Amino acid sequence: MTGLANLRLGVVGGGGWLGKAIVQCLLDSGTITPDRLYLSSRRPRAGLFPGATWTHDNQLLVDNSDIVLVSVRPGDFAAVEVDTQGKLVISVMAGVSFARIQAQLHSDRIIRALPNAAAEVARSHTPWVATPACTDNDRIAARTIFEACGKADELTQERQVDYLAAISGTGPAFPALLADALRRHAIAHDIPAEVARRAVNTLLVGTGRLVEAQDRCPADVVDEFIAYQGMLTAALETMKADGL
């Protein structure tokens, strides 16, 4: 058995932004069909993912699923009181430990992962780690889900996923903050707002595509610009000397 073949996936929090993004990626990639999706949400989701089954009862979702993916805010996890009966549980909650998930959901087969907001366009990076009780098929199923959302890397320690929550887990947030600083600086120097927005957005997208297409280490890109001895050299050397 490979991937999600013939398996039923239940998504607790399937109506939230990350849950929706993951489900949409799975459907768009043909990884799963709507009839094998069981989704829960606190609010009515009529018309979202036609063919999938919606419920407000998380235990009913578990009972009708082979894999349970928990996609709720960490602060809301305490309200998710179900017995998964030892089924594979995939958590995409930041900071919620194996021990807590095991105690609350009653399974030793747990995978912790942290996709980011770029899952909405199938460009997430998802670090993940599995408990020793997970089988090879569990890992294959998890990898299939995460790779439908972008890139994924299996790690060996739970703390590694927690660390990456502050890097890849932030998704577009840090690059977007840098881009906004550049945009505001440009406007302050008499660049029309629309031109400033277009300039920094293009810079952000172009950089991402360049790095992705060439699969290069960012340090190599920086060193290449420094070696060119152009207008950026002094700025880059100063930033590096200041510890950036």
Write the pLDDT tens digit of every residue in 97-125: 999 999 999 999 999 999 999 999 999 99
For residue 108, give the amino acid letter: D
Shared domain for 224 and 135, answered yes or no, is: no
Q: Looking at the predicted structure, is the pLDDT value of residue 184 above 90?
A: yes
- The alpha carbon dihedral of 109, 52, 118, 205 has a sign of positive
Q: pTM value?
A: 0.90
pLDDT band at 93 (very low <50, low <70, confident <90, very high): very high
User: What is the arithmetic mean of pLDDT over 2-29?
Assistant: 94
Would you say residue 4 lies in a domain? no
Is the residue at 47 inside a domain?
yes
Q: Taking a C-beta distance cutoff of 8 angstroms, is the pair 71, 13 a contact?
A: yes
One domain for residues 164 and 236? no
Alpha carbon distance, N-terminus to C-terminus of the chain: 47
Residues 145 and 230 in one domain: no
C-beta separation of 111 from 90 below 8 A: yes
**Whether pLDDT at 1 is above 80:** no
Q: Are residues 24 and 110 in the same domain?
A: yes
pLDDT at res. 221: 85
Question: Residue 2: what pLDDT?
Answer: 58
pLDDT at 163 over 80: yes
Greater confidence (18 vs 231) lies with: 18
Band of residue 200 on the pLDDT scale cut at 50, 70, 90: very high
129 and 213 assigned to the same domain = no
Instruction: Please give the average per-residue pLDDT across 217-221, as a whole number.
Output: 87
- Indicate the SS3 state at residue 194: helix
**Final residue of a structural domain among 170, 198, 214:** 170
Exposure of 4 in the CB half-sphere (CA atoms within 13 A): 27
Q: Domain limits at 54?
A: 9-170
Smallest CA-to-CA distance from 39 within 27, 21, 25, 57 is with 57
**Sole residue written with tokens 């959302």:** 149
Domains in the chain, number: 2
pLDDT value, residue 14: 96
Whole-angstrom Cα distance, residue 114 to residue 20? 15
Strand-by-strand arrangement of the 37-40 sheet: 53-55, 37-40, 9-12, 67-70, 88-91, 110-113, 124-130, 150-154
Confidence class of residue 25 from pLDDT cuts 50, 70 and 90?
A: very high
On the question of pLDDT at 20 being above 80, the answer is: yes
Tell me if 184 is assigned to some domain.
yes
CA distance 37 to 54: 9
Q: Counting Cβ atoms within 10 Å, is residue 4 exposed (0-12), middle (13-18) or buried (19+)? A: buried
